[in-house]
Structure 1
Amino acid sequence: MDDKQKDRLFELADLILAISRHLHAAKADAAEPWTPLEAAVMRYIDHQPGATATQAAEATRLISSNFSRALRKLEQKGLVRREADPDDARRVRLYPTQKAAENLRHLQNTWSRLLDQAVSDAAEADAVITALRRIESQLLGRS
């Protein structure tokens, strides 16, 4: 990788972090408060309902104690519920609650309004979404 590419990729990561901070700040008034660790766990459970705690911990790349703490907090907030696995009672499956779905809708409205001011062209939004999904997939594949 040459220096120009290194600089370009660093700027991309820096911009993603800056945008993430703006989105996190905007949600403060819009939804149930959570930490970045809780957000990572909740995002995984929303995308993979019925996942085990082990699957979620591995996918979010959180150490066991941090994952357990985030999961407990999400349960206390009424955003996640545990259910025994019907095939193996020793295993627990994680599911988002109705409160989590309402929270997600509220967040969707807030973030959509915020980003509509910055990215109003549908083709541009689609291109950015495609690129970011590919980047996320590549990064997840490195586990």
Structure 2
Amino acid sequence: MDETQKARLFELADLILAISRHLHAAKADAAESWTPLEAAVMRYIDHQPGATASQAAEATRLISSNFSRALRKLEQKELVRREADPDDARRVRLYPTRKAGENLGYLQDAWSRLLDETVPDAAEADAVITTLRRIESQLLDRTRAAADPARKGQGAAR
């Protein structure tokens, strides 16, 4: 990778982090308070209801102690519930609660109002969403491949 591309990709990552901080600050009054780790866990559970704790920990790239702490806090806030896996009672499945759904609605309202002023063009928003989804998917594929050597190279075939 040349220096221009390196600088471009660094700026992309830096901008994503900066935007994330603005979004996190904007949710202060709109929703239940949480840490960035709790947000990562909650986001995964919202997107993958019924996931196991190990799946969620792997996808969020959190070490087990940090993941467990975040999960306990989310349970205390009544945003996540655990249910025994019907196929294997030793395994637990994670689900967002109704309160989590309400919280997500508050976030949707707050963040949509914030971004409506900055990205009013639907086509532009769709293009950015498509690009960010692809980036997230490829990063997740890399994470999984790194954790499981048998999967290496699968993400590149897409």
Corresponding position of 2:79: 79
CA offsets per residue over residues 6-50 of structure 1, 9 Å max, x none? 111111001000000000000011100000000000000000000
Corresponding position of 2:139: 139
Q: 2-side partners of 1:11 and 1:87: how far apart?
A: 46
Alignment pair present for 1:13 and 2:13: yes
Question: What is the TM-score with the length of structure 2 in the denominator?
Answer: 0.90
What letter matches 1:25 in structure 2? A
CA offsets per residue over residues 40-81 of structure 1, 9 Å max, x none? 000000000000001100110100000000000000000000
Q: How does 1:1-143 map to 2 (within 5 A)?
A: 1-143=1-143
What letter matches 1:58 in structure 2? E
Following TM superposition, by how much is the alpha carbon of 1:137 offset from its aligned partner in structure 2, in angstroms?
0.7
Number of aligned positions between the proteins: 143
Q: 2-side partners of 1:2 and 1:93: how far apart?
A: 45
Q: Which runs of 4+ in 1 moved over 4 A?
A: none
Q: 1-side partners of 2:11 and 2:59: how far apart?
A: 25
Identity %: 87
Q: Aligned Cα RMSD in Å?
A: 0.4
Name stretches of at least 5 consecutive residues in structure 2 with no aligned partner: 144-158
CA offsets per residue over residues 67-105 of structure 1, 9 Å max, x none? 000000000000000001111111100000000000000
Following TM superposition, by how much is the alpha carbon of 1:131 offset from its aligned partner in structure 2, in angstroms?
0.4
Q: 1-side partners of 2:81 and 2:74: how far apart?
A: 9
Question: What is the TM-score with the length of structure 1 in the denominator?
Answer: 0.99
Q: 2-side partners of 1:140 and 1:78: how far apart?
A: 28
The SS at the match of 2:91 is strand
Q: 2-side partners of 1:57 and 1:3: how far apart?
A: 34
Name stretches of at least 5 consecutive residues in structure 1 with no aligned partner: none
